[in-house]
Structure 1
C-alpha cells in the first residue's frame, strides 16, 4: 500500500530505518533504496526513478537517518489521503509563508504563526541535547502550508504524475523539497501532519552548494514569491522579508562570500525581484554594520 523511496549513503542507517519501518508501518509496503554513497546522483533523479518503480499508490520519500515512533503510521498516511482528495503532499515540518528572500522552509515569526512542526531532533555537529519540538497552535491534525522540509514526505502517484522532482535544475541534495512543495501546491493542498512523530538523527547544514541551489529555487519561483496562505498584512510581510534577508546575508558572510559579492547580491535582487527601494537601503545599512561592526542576526 505504501512505496518508500530512499537515497542511501550509509548501509547501517538504511538497515536501521528498514527494521523500524517493518515494525511500525502497519500496512503492506515496499522499500525502494538506491545506494548513493559517492553522491554521483542527485536526490531528485533518485526520487523520480524510485517513483516510477513503485508498486503502490502512496509514495513516501524519506531520509535514512530517522526512526518513526508512531505505531501504524501507514494507516494514518492512507487515511489522510482517502479523507481529503484535495490533499497532495504531507510532511512533518513546514511553513504557511515562503519569503521572497532566499531561505529554507521556515519563515521569520512575528505576530502570526506560520511555522508548524512536530519531531524529535538530535545533533551530530554540536553538543546540543536532543529535544522534542512541536508547534501546533491551532491543535489541528493537519495544518496547510506552502512549503515542507524534505526529511519525510508522502504523496500519491496521481499527484506525482502532475508534479515530479525537478532533476534538470536541482542536481544535488538541496531545495528539492521546497521546489516539490511549491509545484504540488499549484494543484493540491500541502500540509504538516501532527499524527506522526519522527526522530531525526542529524541537523541540517548550510554551505555554498545550498546557497546556490537556493538562488536557483528563488529564480524559478520569483514571480510567485512571497507566497502565503495566511492573511498577512503588507506591513508584516515587509518585516518578515527584512528579517529573512538579514539572515541570508549573515549566512553568506559566515560562508565566506566577498563583500563585493554580498553587495552585488542585494543589487541583483533589487533589479530583478520585488524588493522595494526602502528595504534595499535598509539592508545595505545593516550589511555594512554586519561586515564592519560585527553585528549579528537573531
Structure 2
C-alpha cells in the first residue's frame, strides 16, 4: 500500500464522551481519521443516522461502530484499508456474521457463524469464538452483525433501509440487499474488540424481525 488514506468513523451515542473519542482516534491511529459522533436520544433511528453518516463523511471507507466497544487492535486504519485493497469485490466487512441466513435471527445456525467477539458483562469478560481465525483472509458471509461495520461507499449498491425503526435491524437489510446484488460481505478476525454489553431481544426487536422476514421472505433462507 503506497499511501495510507484516512477513513471515517461514525458513532451514535446518547451522550458524547470525549475520552471515548480519544480512545477511538488513538486506536485508528491515522492523524486525519474523521470521527463523527452523533448525539442521538432516539430522535433518529439507526438506519437514518447511519445514512446521514454515509452522506456527511468525507472518506470513501466508513466504519460504523457501537459506542460501547473497547478496541484492542492498534493501528486500525491501515489494517482496514488493506482488507478492502486486497479484496476488491467486498463492500462491507465486519467481525462476526453468518454464511447461512435462515431468518431474522442471524445466529440461528450456530455452525454457520463466523468470527470472534469478546463481551464484558457484570465485570466478567469472555470471547465468543464463532469460528477459527482466518489470518489475513476474509470469510465470505451473507450478513454481518452491526456492532462494527466497515463500509466502502464506492462499492455498495444499497444504503441502510430506513423502513426499520429504532436501533435494531439496521445491519441485516443493508448486508442482504447488497449481497443479493453481487456485493460481497466479509468477516475478518484481524480486529479484536470487546463489547461492553450483550445483545438484548425485546418487543422492538421482535417487531423489526417480523418486518425483515416479511420483506425478504422470498429470499430466505440463503446460504453460501
The answer, yes or no, to whether TM exceeds 0.5 is yes
Contact 1:89/1:181 (8 A) holds in 2? yes
The yes-or-no answer on 1:77 pairing with 2:80 is yes
Larger Rg over CA atoms: 1
SS in structure 1 at match of 2:171: helix
Contact 2:115/2:132 (8 A) holds in 1? no
The yes-or-no answer on 1:122 pairing with 2:120 is yes
SS in structure 2 at match of 1:31: strand
Contact 2:133/2:189 (8 A) holds in 1? no
> What is the CA distance between 1:138 and its match in structure 2?
6.6
Contact 2:8/2:63 (8 A) holds in 1? yes
Q: Unaligned regions of 5+ residues in structure 1, if any? A: 230-298
SS in structure 2 at match of 1:11: coil
The corresponding residue for 2:108 is: 107
Q: Of 135, 153, 168, which aligns to 1:174?
A: 168
> What is the CA distance between 1:224 and its match in structure 2?
0.7
Instruction: Please report the RMSD computed on the Cα atoms of aligned residues, expressed in angstroms.
Output: 1.6
> What is the CA distance between 1:188 and its match in structure 2?
1.2
The corresponding residue for 2:150 is: 154
Quote the Cα distance in structure 1 between the aligned partners of 2:79 and 2:133. Answer: 20
TM-score, normalisation: structure 2 = 0.90
> Normalized per residue, which structure has more strand?
2
| Larger RCO (CA within 8 A; separation ≥ 6) | 2
> What is the CA distance between 1:142 and its match in structure 2?
1.5
SS in structure 2 at match of 1:76: helix
The corresponding residue for 1:91 is: 94
Point out the more displaced range, 113-122 or 197-206: 113-122
> What is the CA distance between 1:128 and its match in structure 2?
7.4
